[in-house]
Amino acid sequence: MAPGPWSREQDGRFAAGVLGVLADNVLAQAVLAHRHPDMWAVTTELAFDFFAPPVEGQKLTASATVLVVDAGGGGSRGRIIDESGGAVADVTFWGRFVEGVPQAVVDQHRAPSLEVRPGSLAELLGLERDGDQMVLRERSELVNPLGMMHGGVLVPTLEQAAVELGARPEGMVTASMRINYLRPASGDILVAVRQIHRGRTFASAEATALRPDGKMAAWALLTFRSTGR
Ligand SMILES: CC(C)(COP(=O)(O)OP(=O)(O)OC[C@H]1O[C@@H](n2cnc3c(N)ncnc32)[C@H](O)[C@@H]1OP(=O)(O)O)[C@@H](O)C(=O)NCCC(=O)NCCSC(=O)Cc1ccccc1
């Protein structure tokens, strides 16, 4: 993946959450390699530790090793590096095996790519403010081969909702994100954010993605950290 204008926030800073699709695809593959031929997998948890923002124009590469696999699913751990081998993020993935291989996989459907469009990150995601919440409008390119919202897309969605709704204090960066995928997400997704801590040097917030039926599809804990004194 090559970061570009689409991966920047309004103030020009790199949006760490855009690593979500790359990480989810690569770490899921490490577990999918061990699936029963009649099964597929869905992501249940992703945990990111973000290090330095990448240098623009440099390609980012994700690698993954499987941690454990059993009949129900498995976990993998991975790292995203820049062209000089510098660590950009570490990621842990957990997924569940589900019955049936999606037809889109058999037909070699391409996973959504956050590189598919020019423009800003806000335009790419199509995240809109609605009062004290944000809305992610349903779009076909945001879904995975199973027809549900791609887990990786919810990473920048929840991060940017937290940023837009003011949960990340000035001068702080997104240091980590842990996301639980509780139910398949589809339709317009409403994102609510709650500040948990707002200190001088670090802050935390939770972000929840709600489906049109009001049920929670995903829950994330975000940590922001000051890079100054
Ligand atoms: C199924 C499970 C993983 C585990 O369930 P558990 O927690 O053990 O408990 P439980 O069985 O009680 O179910 C809980 C609730 O879930 C509902 N439900 C269950 N099954 C289905 C179903 N088939 N369809 C519809 N809904 C289903 C179920 O009715 C219940 O809801 P309710 O309380 O009645 O309203 C669930 O947490 C889940 O679907 N999470 C979202 C995962 C997700 O969307 N990940 C991201 C996308 S993957 C990706 O993009 C990565 C990738 C990319 C490329 C390649 C590969 C991968």
ipTM score here? 0.96
CA distances from 156 to 7, 16, 45, 122, 126 (A): 10, 7, 15, 10, 11
Determine if the pTM surpasses 0.90. Answer: yes
Q: Report how many domains make up the chain.
A: 1
Q: The CATH number of the domain where 122 resides is what? A: 3.10.129.10
CA 211–ligand 1 middle distance (angstroms): 13
Which tokens belong to 83? 């062209």
Nearest-CA residue for atom 8 of ligand 1: 182
Beta partners for 203?
198, 224
- Measured from the Cα of 144, ligand 1's closest atom is 50
Beta partners for 46?
93, 179
Q: Are strands 189-198 and 216-226 parallel, antiparallel or unpaired?
A: unpaired
CA 59–ligand 1 middle distance (angstroms): 32
Residue 128 placed within a domain = yes
pLDDT at 56: 79
Residue 162 placed within a domain = yes
Residue 110 placed within a domain = no
Q: How many CB atoms lie within 10 A of CB 163?
A: 23
Q: List, run by run, the mean pLDDT of 10-residue segments along the chain (229 residues).
A: 88 93 97 94 98 89 98 98 96 96 71 57 88 94 88 97 96 97 97 97 98 98 92
> What is the spatial distance between Cα 131 and Cα 149, in angstroms, rounded to a whole number?
23
- DSSP class of 22: H
46 in Cβ contact with 20 (< 8 Å): yes
Residue from 183, 211, 216 to probe ligand 1 pocket by mutation (most atoms less than 8 Å from CB):
183
Residue 108 placed within a domain = no
Residue 44 placed within a domain = yes
Residue from 42, 99, 101, 186 to probe ligand 1 pocket by mutation (most atoms less than 8 Å from CB):
42
Beta partners for 91?
48, 78
Write out the residue range of the structural domain in which residue 95 sits. Answer: 5-99+116-226
Which tokens belong to 1? 């993946």
